[in-house]
Amino acid sequence: MASSKAEFLFAILILAPLLGFLANGLRWKSKNYMLAGSIATAAAGTSFIAALAIVMRLFGEGAPKAVTADFFQWISIAGLEVPVSFVIDHISALMVLVVTGVGTLIHLFSIGYMSHDERPTKYFAYLNLFLFNMLLLILGENLVLMFVGWEGVGLCSYLLIGFWFTDKEKAAAGMKAFVTNRIGDAGFLLGMFMLFVTFGSLGFSEIISKVAGLAAETGWTGPITLAALFLFVGATGKSAQIPLYVWLPDAMAGPTPVSALIHAATMVTAGVYMIVRLSPLFILAPNAMMVIAIIGAATAVLAATIGLTQFDIKKVLAYSTVSQLGYMFLACGVGAFGAAMFHLVTHAFFKALMFLGSGSVIHGMHEEQDIRKMGGLAKYMPLTYLTFFVGWIAIIGLPPFAGFFSKDEILWFAFSSPHGSVWLWLAGFVGAACTAFYMTRLMALTFWGKPRFDEHHTHPHEAGPSMTIPLVVLAILSAVGGFMGIPHVIGEILPGHPGNWLEHWLHGFIAVPAGETHGSAVMEWILMGLSVSIAGLSAITAYFFYVKEPSVVERVKNRMGRLHTLVYNKYFVDEIYFAKIIDPIVNGSKALWAFVDVNFIDRATFVAGDLVKGIGSTARTLQSGNLQQYALFIALGVVGFLAFLFELRASLGKLLMQAFGG
């Protein structure tokens, strides 16, 4: 179906950011942020338009199910075919629009944000390079191409986190991100190998057509289950799930728009996207699905609790991101791939919005990130406040904003799906309560109450249009984005009975779990009511705590004591990783070097050498230089030889006698 025009559009879509990267990369010494930003934003915008043009083809009667474009054969060896070919189907269409759309907005935002930086060209070059890699990841028609993008975005993330590399901490954060991601990538590789060994192909469509009709695997060691688990390890790395989530909070060392783009809206959702992409495979591995659901739920709760105690505005958002990603994996784990995709999209809107909002705040507060030193910013930065407010409602899940629909769908499936259970629902429910609390706390400490900074020295101010326009657009999307997936129970009572558009859109592209769903419409209403009221309740509590009675907070903190210390220090996970894994490896390596290389292998060769030397020095005493001694040896040799000869003759004679004689 791929017409040459599709290839042309795909080429524009993918190459525009690459050209942007090259254009900015080649003039890396320039400090003209406006030009650099314009090039980069234009590149991203071009991509978005091209993506839109391609996606439009999927609409209408008789539209193709997917638009593909083949370029060239990248690797082709004995059955391993890796063509450079791209596909936009109903899944990647959603993703590509989010990535290029939100990406363009963030590029635009960056122009204002990075206006004071020393090396804006480099920044925008990296940002474009990221977009290019992200597009490879999304659009690649096979796992290898996805992996190329997968590693590529990790690389850009590394570069952008460590953008201010003169700061040791930031450079370290970049490295931590890359290495943690690499652990995931190793899992991804293994998953890929497992699939190739099992199915003989790495193309998505081929794998999916080959698994179609297979029975679900039981047990843990089947090839599909193992492949699914390995791929999930990859997803935990990229999408910051337990146990590999630790890099994401540190990744906040990068510029804030980067956090919005890479560490909230796009890259970190790649794991979810990959699982949704391969949902027909994952659905065949119920045990792997169970693991995914449990890890997702656990991450959602754990990260949310840590979020309750943090004071760095970006760290709060970072843990919130980890937690929300947990929801997406929970959805994947219970087989609600559509809900996962839905939440991915809405989350991209409101989390990008909130990160950009926080960027605006940090920018306005002159690089201050500690929310204890903020407060009352609503009156200084009204537009930022207003948009952030929208994001806040969206994330805590109050109807009718985006987050409500997507999160509720996940919670409902966690309860009702054949793979779901009341416990998974409960975890999601607790997470939702925490989310509402810490987000309200963030709102309260940042925008409400009295200013806690020196108003004479610091003059918070609203930024220029390049930063506010993206905020407004994202705020609108956060407000209305949820309408693409209105649940049936709500649709029925609304005028015109709108259906669940998203569900319809993804139908046939994602797997649906087999088995009986439990729960009824009444149940759905009840659960919905419960989650909305708990969100509202905990938001009100937080408001009361942080705006009305700040003293309560201290009291609670003191009452909690050790629990608070534990949570505030992020459960000491980093410390445990260092003490139990990283340090032993480093020390062990030093020991390997010192003992195996130097003291064992080298010593062994020295011993062998000494042995030869010893024999040699013993032998050399024979050569005394005393001529007469040599002569003696010669004489003795002759005598010995003669003796031997005669003896031999004698015995030979005897033998002959025996043989022939009488």
Partner 1 sequence: MPTSAVVVDSISSVGLNHYLILSAILFSLGVVGVLMRRNIIVILMSIELMLNAVNIAFVAFSRSLQNMDGQAMVFFVMTIAAAEAAVGLALATTIFKKFREVNIRYFEHLKG
Partner 2 sequence: MLLSLIVFLPLLFALVLAILPKESWIRPAAFGFALIQFAVSLLLFKSFDPATPAVQLAEFFPWVPALGISYLLGIDGISFWLVLLTTFLLPVVVLGSWTAVDKKSRAFHCALFALQTAMLGSFVALDLVLFYVFFELSLVPMYFIIGIWGGQRRVYATMKFFLYTMVGSLLMLLGIIYLMFTARDTLGYMTANVLELYKLKVPFVAGEFLNPQSLLFFVFSLAFAIKVPMFPVHTWLPDAHVEAPTPGSVVLAGVMLKMGTYGFLRFVIPLFPEAAEHYAWVFLFLGAVGIVYGALVAMVQPDMKKLVAYSSVSHMGYVVLGLFAMNSYGVTGAIYQMLNHGVSTGALFLLVGMIYERTHSREIERYGGLAKVMPIYTILFFIVTLSSIAVPMTNGFVGEFLILLGGFQANKAFGSLAVVGVVLGAVYMLWMFKRVFFGEAGPLVKDEHHPLHDVGVREFVVMVPLVILIFWMGLMPEPFLKYTKASVEHFVANKDAYQLTILESPVETGKLTAAAVADQKEKK
Residues near partner 2 (CB under 8 A) = 28, 72-80, 144, 147-148, 151-152, 155, 158, 162, 165-168, 171-172, 174-175, 178-179, 182-183, 185-186, 189-190, 192-194, 196-197, 585-586, 588-590, 592-593, 596-598, 601-602, 605, 609
The total of other beta-carbon atoms located within 10 Å of residue 562's CB is: 7
Least separation in angstroms between residue 196's CB and partner 2 is: 6
Total residue count of the chain as it appears in this document = 662
> Which window, 262-270, 336-344, 352-360, 623-631, contacts partner 1 (CB under 8 A)?
623-631
* DSSP conformational letter for 68: E
Q: Could you tell which of partner 2, partner 1, none binds residue 558, using a CB distance below 5 to 8 A set by kind?
A: none
SS3 assignment for 425-479: HHHHHHHHHHHHHHHHHHHHHHCCCCCCCCCCCCCCCCCCHHHHHHHHHHHHHHH
In Å, what is the CA distance from 18 to each residue of 62, 196, 265, 277, 451? Answer: 34, 30, 20, 25, 44
| Residue 171: Cβ-neighbour burial (10 angstroms; 0-12, 13-18, 19+) | middle
3-class DSSP state of 373: helix
Residue 627 is a binding residue for partner 1 (CB under 8 A): yes
Q: Could you tell which of partner 1, partner 2, none binds residue 632, using a CB distance below 5 to 8 A set by kind?
A: partner 1
Q: Which is nearer to partner 1, 166 or 621 (CB)?
A: 621
Residue holding tokens 């050498």? 609
Q: Could you tell which of partner 1, partner 2, none binds residue 179, using a CB distance below 5 to 8 A set by kind?
A: partner 2
- Residues 111 and 167: their CA atoms lie apart, in Å, by 23
Residue 533 is a binding residue for partner 1 (CB under 8 A): no
Instruction: Find the binder of partner 1 among 168, 620, 658, 661 (CB under 8 A).
Output: 620
Least separation in angstroms between residue 541's CB and partner 2 is: 43
With beta carbons less than 8 A apart as the criterion, state whether 388 and 447 touch: yes
Least separation in angstroms between residue 645's CB and partner 1 is: 18
Q: Which is nearer to partner 2, 247 or 327 (CB)?
A: 247
Backbone angles phi, psi at 76, to 5 degrees: -150, 105
Residue 213 is a binding residue for partner 1 (CB under 8 A): no
Least separation in angstroms between residue 581's CB and partner 1 is: 58
Q: Which is nearer to partner 1, 4 or 628 (CB)?
A: 628
Residue 605 is a binding residue for partner 1 (CB under 8 A): no
The total of other beta-carbon atoms located within 10 Å of residue 472's CB is: 16
Backbone angles phi, psi at 245, to 5 degrees: -80, -10
With beta carbons less than 8 A apart as the criterion, state whether 52 and 94 touch: no
Instruction: Find the binder of partner 1 among 622, 658, 660, 662 (CB under 8 A).
Output: 622
Least separation in angstroms between residue 637's CB and partner 1 is: 13
3-class DSSP state of 70: strand
> Which window, 15-23, 61-69, 78-86, 617-625, contacts partner 1 (CB under 8 A)?
617-625
- Residues 431 and 456: their CA atoms lie apart, in Å, by 40
| Backbone region of residue 570 per phi and psi (left: phi > 0; alpha: psi in -120 to 50; beta: other values) | left
Closest listed residue to residue 408, CA positions, set 470, 468, 474, 488: 488
Instruction: Find the binder of partner 1 among 62, 628, 658, 659 (CB under 8 A).
Output: 628
Residue 618 is a binding residue for partner 1 (CB under 8 A): no
Q: Could you tell which of partner 2, partner 1, none binds residue 622, using a CB distance below 5 to 8 A set by kind?
A: partner 1
With beta carbons less than 8 A apart as the criterion, state whether 568 and 319 touch: no
Q: Which is nearer to partner 2, 75 or 632 (CB)?
A: 75
Residue 624 is a binding residue for partner 1 (CB under 8 A): yes
Q: Which is nearer to partner 1, 166 or 628 (CB)?
A: 628
Residue 612 is a binding residue for partner 1 (CB under 8 A): no
Instruction: Find the binder of partner 1 among 626, 658, 660, 662 (CB under 8 A).
Output: 626
Q: Could you tell which of partner 1, partner 2, none binds residue 620, using a CB distance below 5 to 8 A set by kind?
A: partner 1
Q: Which is nearer to partner 1, 558 or 623 (CB)?
A: 623
Q: Could you tell which of partner 1, partner 2, none binds residue 615, using a CB distance below 5 to 8 A set by kind?
A: none
Rg (the chain; Cα; Å)? 33
With beta carbons less than 8 A apart as the criterion, state whether 428 and 354 touch: no
Least separation in angstroms between residue 499's CB and partner 2 is: 41
* DSSP conformational letter for 595: I
Backbone angles phi, psi at 580, to 5 degrees: -100, -20
Q: Which is nearer to partner 2, 601 or 638 (CB)?
A: 601
Q: Which is nearer to partner 1, 579 or 631 (CB)?
A: 631
Q: Could you tell which of partner 2, partner 1, none binds residue 596, using a CB distance below 5 to 8 A set by kind?
A: partner 2
SS3 content of the chain, % helix, strand, coil (to 5): 75, 5, 20
Tokens for 586, please give them. 């480093």
List b or e across 646-662, with b for residues whose CB sees 16 or more CB atoms inside 10 angstroms. eeeeeeeeeeeeeeeee
- Residues 301 and 325: their CA atoms lie apart, in Å, by 11
Residues numbered 629 to 648 that lie near partner 1 (CB under 8 A) are 631-632, 635
Give the interface with partner 1 as residue ranges (CB under 8 A): 620-628, 631-632, 635
